[in-house]
Amino acid sequence: RESGREKSNSSSSSSATNSTHHQRAEHRTTSEQLAHVSSTRKPHPPPPGCKFHVFLSHKQANGQDQVKCISLELTRWGLSVWYDMEQDHLTTTAMEEGVRMSAVVVLFLSAGVLERRFVQFEISHAIELHKPVLLVHEEDCRHGQFQF
């Protein structure tokens, strides 16, 4: 039988271990945090009527590099992504179809993104089609930080 002091020490040790694990997890990149997911596990296909899991909308001038990284990471995890810089024919018709054929639209928020005609077009079309729109924003002022 453990004494009260031994139980307390045991509990403190367990709590300290959990705290240390939590602190390490906070400092890992998203890729590192997701590394435990098996790369052999295939994601579900896009929903019926969709060709892509994700449509990426962004302002090229200050979001292209970040969105390229997002596209590569999503693709690495087995998701199908519509990304404008990977399209053979980049027209408003192609953008419209990309939104229509995607399960969700991700809008990368960077400085001036909401002033861009093509971004407005893509998001308006997503709203018309009742597509979920997820927001991802840039926090680093060196890379076009978005101001809320």
State the pLDDT at residue 37. 52
The reply to whether 40 falls in a domain is: no
Total-model pTM: 0.70
Domain that holds residue 9: 4-34
Which two tokens mark 74?
């999503």
Shared-domain flag, residues 72 and 111: yes
Q: Which residues, given as ranges, of the chain have pLDDT below 50?
A: 1-15, 17-22, 38
Shared-domain flag, residues 8 and 79: no
Model confidence pLDDT, tens digit, residues 117-132: 999 999 999 999 999 9
Shared-domain flag, residues 93 and 128: yes
State the pLDDT at residue 27. 61
Report how far Cα 8 is from the mean position of its chain's Cα atoms: 42
Q: In which region does residue 3 sit, left (phi positive, over 0), alpha (psi from -120 to 50) or beta (all else)?
A: beta
